[in-house]
Amino acid sequence: MTTVLQRLCDICNKATGVYDCQECQRTFCRKHVVEHNLELSKEMDNVVNHHDLLRQQLSEQETVSSQHPLMKEINNWEQLSVEKIREMAEKARRDLNRLLTDHKESITKKLEEISCQLKTTKEADDYSEKDLSEWLQMLEKLKKQLLTPSNVILRTVSDEIWLQPIVVMATSLNSRDKFDKASNNIRILENGFVAEDNGTYSHGEVRGFKTYSTGTYKINSKIEEMTSNNWMFWGII
């Protein structure tokens, strides 16, 4: 005697007018297949809502990029850098004012000495052409020193790192790199994704195809076979 197994609805366990869903591999009766279709319709609406929300966020990102957390970090770095520059400039001004004041006092003292000499010799009517020439030279020298002090200069300190630059770069978690150049004892196979040492030399060298200058990358690799008395070095040139 052969028993025929009836297919039952996965929801109500009834065998009346069942339908198979090829996607979820479930069986439904006439009533519950309608409900199943309604569930699919709701899921479709949910997907559309996610799609529309993402498009809206993408559109708004163009106008609110100034609110991006990284943009705020750049603004903070700018403020700190400007404040540090302002502090250093203010210190330089104070130092310059102090040096100029000292320089002015030094010239004033020298001028007072000349003034005393002029007053004394003029009252005594005791001076020569040589004295007059020397006094003029001294006065002219003091005048030049007053206008352009030679003992005060500005210079930048190249070996002092007081401002750290900020750099914006993109990062990549994976890199589809492959082998490109190799020494004679290395064979590159499978379109550059496998490097094989034939063992004829004590050492070998193989290099990747891509070059990197900025950013963060993850290069996946696997050592399939390696003898115990050998070693391997991975490096960046």
HEC sequence for the chain: CCCCCCCCCCCCCCCCCCEEECCCCEEECHHHHHHHHHHHHHHHHHHHHHHHHHHHHHHHHCCCHHHCHHHHHHHHHHHHHHHHHHHHHHHHHHHHHHHHHHHHHHHHHHHHHHHHHHHHHHHHCCCCHHHHHHHHHHHHHHHHHHHCCCCCCCCCCCCCCCCCCCCCCCCCCCCCCCEEEECCCEEEEHHHCEEEECCCCCCCCEEECCCCCCCCCCCCCCCCCCCCCCCCCCCCC
Torsion of CA 59, 62, 66, 69, to 10 degrees: 60
pTM score, two decimals?
Answer: 0.45
Residue 90 has a pLDDT of 92
User: Is pLDDT larger for residue 161 or for residue 125?
Assistant: 125
Q: Which of 28-37, 39-48, 133-142, 196-205 has the least mean pLDDT?
A: 196-205
pLDDT of residue 75 exceeding 80, the answer is yes
- pLDDT interval class at 122 (50, 70, 90): confident
**CA-based nearest residue to 10, from 26, 30, 33:** 26
Percent of the chain residues past pLDDT 70, beyond the cut? 82
Residue 59 has a pLDDT of 77
**CA-based nearest residue to 185, from 197, 168, 169, 202:** 197
pLDDT of residue 201 exceeding 80, the answer is no
User: Is pLDDT larger for residue 148 or for residue 67?
Assistant: 148
Average pLDDT, the chain: 80
User: Is pLDDT larger for residue 94 or for residue 210?
Assistant: 94
Which amino acid belongs to residue 177?
D
**CA-based nearest residue to 176, from 216, 221, 219:** 219
Which amino acid belongs to residue 194?
V
pLDDT of residue 4 exceeding 60, the answer is no
Residue 3 has a pLDDT of 45
User: Is pLDDT larger for residue 226 or for residue 2?
Assistant: 226
pLDDT of residue 65 exceeding 50, the answer is yes
Residue 214 has a pLDDT of 63
**Which of 2-6, 98-102, 153-157 tops mean pLDDT?**
98-102
Residue 115 has a pLDDT of 92
